[in-house]
Chain A
Amino acid sequence: MKVKVDKTLVASIALHVLVLGWGLVTFSSRAFVPAEESLPIDIISTDQLAQMMSGQKTGDKKEPKPKVEKIAEAKPEEDAVGKVTEKKELIKTNSTPEPPPKPVEKPVEKKPEPPKPVAEAKPKEEPKPPEKKPDPAKEDPIAELQKKLETKKPPPKPEQKVAAVQPQQQPKPKERSFDPAQIQRDLDKRAATRHELAGSTLNASASLGSTIGTAANNVATWRGAFQGAVKRCFTPTYNGQDADQYEADIDIPMKIDGSLASEPVVVAVRGPSRSIAQAVAESAKRAIVQCQVYSFLPKQQYESWKLIPMTFGLKDML
């Protein structure tokens, strides 16, 4: 009997053997790489960082310097309160210039209608005639036209009350010295500004007492790190329904090198069962001793952590 050998099958087997053999050699030759031990870190928010880095309002103003905001020739500034802006050209807006032409056009149309308002307006314009008196020509057509134009303003009065208020507010002397720049200044409602304070070197902050910020003496930094370090070794076991009632207050005397100055002192224990509360305290003491030395504690602030009072609880155990 003739046995038929499938060539593709043979090829397939040969390939599989090759691949498996290669895999065995390659994978077995890989050295064991021990896992790196992770470093504990605390994640803080941007707000917390900003808080840490900001100056202190109550900080001592050491080395008081004149404030400098721009490198330039020193120039005395009278008003140091106003907002600093660069010099800008005033921009005319569409809203303010428009109203003036309107009253000019309207009176022209209404000229013949109101004869009385002209008479009423006369007493108000009394100061004007003296100015014009020196002018010899009453007959001057331009002056007459100007007079007429001025007398045309009253007609809108009876129409709107708001319009009636405006003439009273406008003092007449202003009308006489017509200065468009002054009008613009009057209309400009922006806050007062000043130029940058110039000097040879920049000096950013003068408003807060300290330019260093609170990062170095931020209490939360070492406190959080210390909590995290002790927590790593704290292994309480109780998880009953009343776990949140168990607490142990422990005072930790510290040396400046971050090691314990003496054994931690159990100040108080609380909880329904004394034996469990005592076990919590003992577990906490073991954690404190086992996890020393706390060398990360800032030496310049030793006074603040010379004696660290801590409370160990179980409220999150379940």
Chain B
Amino acid sequence: MNRRRFMTLTGSTLAMLGGGQAFAQQPQGRLRIDPTEFRPIPIAITNFVPGSPADGDVGNGVTQVITNNLKRSGLFAPVDQAAFIERISNIDVAPQFENWKTLNAQALVTGRMTRQPDGRLKAEFRLWDVVTGQQLAGQQYFTSPEYWRRIAHIISDQIYEKLTGEKGYFDSRVVFVDESGPKERRVKRLAMMDQDGANVRYLTRGADLVLTPRFSPNSQEITYMEFGQGDPKVYLFNIETGQREIVGNFPGMTFAPRFSPDGQRVIMSLQQGGNSNLFVMDLRSRSTTRLTDTPAIDTSPSYSPDGTRICFESDRGGRSQIYVMAAGGGAAQRISFSKDDTNATYSTPVWSPRGDYIAFTRQGGGQFSIGVMKPDGSGERLLTSGFHNEGPTFSPNGRVLMFFRDPGGSGGPSLFSVDISGRNELKVPTPGFASDPAWSPLLSSTQGG
């Protein structure tokens, strides 16, 4: 490759020395392509071949979940199966790529589901580059039959990563506040589901009001605020055991908790009189450190992915705005400045897992908007606006935001997702009304799978 380039460069140089005419006919450097518009990758996903007739349903189910995941990401355009020319019956034989090229598919997914003698399920898949005819990925997994959806999510992540270069986000969960009952006597329960809305589990019974649930970095624990008999307190909930405990025992109200990236600390707000300040508690030693000390309301803290900085909202300047400071406290720098509406307020900042953006809720001009800005406050971009949009949370790869939207009236809130570019806004299916979502990290990376 280097030799070829050297020869090209040498040829150009000689042409330049050789005379004006020769130089004029040489291509002027490299042709450059910078696409301005986004287009999804056309992909064909065939039904997973059943190892035995009994595995047919689970094979089709896996195909359906993968197709749904990739389609909802907005980055892929699955080809309609009705248009398929070739029927894949053996995944160990290379497909006839011409049959898939005619469908304009750039990639092809084939797979097989086989129940093993020990009762486990074996899932195999291959990802083909239709254009070059090369296999891009090929994996097999073993799991209990009830976890077939998770296998489908893991395969989706593999395909996503191979074709985009970014980590996927399909093998992840979302914890949220499930709302039911009439508006004046709304029952709020802590609930958890897969990122696509499947496998909903309720974590609390709804006797007490719960707010602001957040996942721990290992996805095994959830911290949230609950209004019990006395002051609202921050709790820690273990998903596996179902046990919960109070985080610290402070005289006032504690709220807006969030884990540090290493999972060793919880940062939160503590009410003191009419003010609230930020505190961080070490979960091992249970020691508490004050981070801010101002006659204002400092709340909604969120760590940067490297754990060195914190973004939070504060009304120390008169109105609620977003500030950034070192994780150990100190001087805070305001980063939110509205250009068009000086009365606009910014709240619920969340730092992206890839560190490039801070998402926020903006209130101004009679609307609530969800937006992103760079950590220095530049590049502000509103992704969606409306009567009431609030509480953004990032997908594990920092590519998608989930938030809740309340249309007002007698209805209730629902969950929505949107790409950080503002494209592909979708409603996330939930059993009832839902608010305050929090996305977990990628399960396969936290569990070594």
Interface residues of A (CB under 8 A from B): 58, 217, 219, 223, 226-227, 230-231, 234-242, 249, 251, 263, 265-267, 273, 275-280, 282-286, 289-290, 301, 304-305, 307-318
Contact = CB atoms under 8 A, between A and B. Distances in A.
A289 B27 contact: no
B55 to A, nearest CB: 32
B4 A234 contact: no
A309 B30 contact: yes
Contacts of B374: 241
A311 B28 CA distance: 13
The majority secondary structure among interface residues of chain B is loop
Given A311-B32, A314-B34, A316-B34, A237 B356 contact: no
A22 to B, nearest CB: 36
Contact of B31 (A263, A310, A316): A310
Interface in B390-423: 398, 419-421
B163 A251 contact: no
13 contacts: A223-B27, A227-B31, A230-B33, A235-B39, A249-B30, A279-B163, A283-B41, A286-B106, A286-B129, A289-B131, A308-B31, A309-B29, A317-B35
Closest 4 CB pairs of A and B: A279-B165, A276-B165, A241-B356, A275-B165
B41 A235 contact: yes
B379 interface: yes
B20 A58 contact: yes
Given A267-B1, A309-B30, A316-B36, 16 more contacts: A217-B25, A223-B27, A226-B31, A227-B31, A227-B32, A240-B354, A241-B357, A280-B165, A286-B132, A289-B131, A309-B8, A311-B31, A311-B32, A312-B34, A316-B34, A317-B38
Contacts of B28: 219
Given A219-B28, A265-B1, A277 B33 contact: no
A285 B24 CA distance: 29
A308 to B, nearest CB: 6
B164 A310 contact: no
A302 to B, nearest CB: 12
Contact of A223 (B31, B106, B356, B357): B31
A314 B36 CA distance: 8
A256 B273 CA distance: 81
B21 interface: yes
Interface in B17-52: 20-21, 24-36, 38-42
B161 interface: yes
Contacts of A226: 31
Nearest to A214: B24
A293 B96 CA distance: 20
B30 to A, nearest CB: 4
B75 interface: yes
B25 A237 contact: no
Interface of B: 1, 4-5, 8, 20-21, 24-36, 38-42, 75, 101, 104, 106, 129, 131-132, 161-166, 354, 356-357, 374, 379, 398, 419-421
Nearest to B2: A267
Contact of A231 (B33, B38, B398): B33
Nearest to B356: A241
A230 B33 CA distance: 8
Nearest to A217: B25
Contacts of B162: 279
Contact of B30 (A240, A301, A310, A317): A310
Contacts of B27: 219, 223, 304-305, 308-309
B33 A227 contact: yes
Contacts of A240: 354, 356, 398
B164 A313 contact: no
B132 A263 contact: yes
Contact of A315 (B30, B34, B129): B34
Given A241-B356, A276-B166, A313 B34 contact: yes
A95 to B, nearest CB: 50
Contacts of B356: 240-242
Nearest to A246: B165
A227 to B, nearest CB: 6
Contacts of B39: 235
Given A223-B31, A237-B75, A318 B421 contact: yes
A276 B356 CA distance: 15
Contacts of A305: 27
Nearest to A252: B31
Given A286-B106, A315-B34, A235 B165 contact: no
A220 to B, nearest CB: 9
Contact of A238 (B31, B32, B164): B164
Nearest to A314: B34
A316 B4 contact: no
B165 A234 contact: no
Nearest to B354: A240
A311 B30 contact: yes
Given A267-B1, A279-B163, A235 B31 contact: no
A74 to B, nearest CB: 34
A307 B11 CA distance: 12
Contacts of A231: 33, 35
A278 B379 CA distance: 27
Contacts of A251: 1, 4-5, 8
Contact of A265 (B4, B132, B161, B354): B4
Contacts of B26: 304
A232 B29 CA distance: 22
A266 B1 CA distance: 8
A285 B129 CA distance: 11
Contacts of B354: 240
Nearest to A308: B31
A315 B32 CA distance: 11
B38 A311 contact: no
Among B35, B39, B161, residue most surrounded by chain A Cβ atoms (within 10 Å) = B35
B8 A307 contact: yes
B38 to A, nearest CB: 7
A276 to B, nearest CB: 4
